[in-house]
Amino acid sequence: MPQIVILPHAKLCPEGAVIETEAGKSVCDVLLENDIHIEHACEKSCACTTCHVLVREGFDSLNEATDTEEDLLDKAWGLEACSRLSCQSIVADEDLVIEIPKYTINHASEGGH
C-alpha cells in the first residue's frame, strides 16, 4: 500500500502526517478522508486551483495532468514544476511526499495573507 507523507502545514496539518492509502484514489480524497481539510472550492471538478499541492516526491508516479489542469495550474499561487491539483492527482503504487502551499488563490484574494 502506498503512503502519502504530508509535510507540516501551519493550519491544515501542523504536525504533518503519514497516511496509508490504496492506489486509484485522488490525493484530495485521501487528505479529506483523513481529516486534512484541504480547500476544494469547485468540489473536485477541476475548475479552480484551491486544492493545489506540491508533490515533492513521487510526482512521476501520478497520472498525467490534462490540458485543463495545466491551464488552471498557471493561475495557482506559488506554482512550481511539481505542482498538481490534488483532485486530479491519482495515487499509484509509489509513495508520495506532499506539501500544501501556505496560501491558495482564494486566500490571497480574500486578504488572508
pLDDT 10s digits, 5-55:
999 999 999 999 999 999 999 999 999 999 999 999 999 999 999 999 999
Q: Which of 76, 46, 50 is nearest to 63 (CA)?
A: 46
Q: Where are the domains of the chain?
A: 3-106
Domain 3-106, CATH homologous superfamily name and number = Beta-grasp domain (3.10.20.30)
Q: List, in order, residues 6 or more apart from 35 with CB less than 8 Å away.
A: none
Q: List, in order, residues 6 or more apart from 106 with CB less than 8 Å away.
A: 39, 41, 48, 50
How many C-beta neighbours within 10 Å does residue 7 have?
Answer: 14
pLDDT band at 104 (very low <50, low <70, confident <90, very high): confident
* Matching residue, cell 478522508: 33
- Eight-class DSSP state of 59: G
Helix (H, G, I), strand (E, B), or coil: what is residue 82?
coil
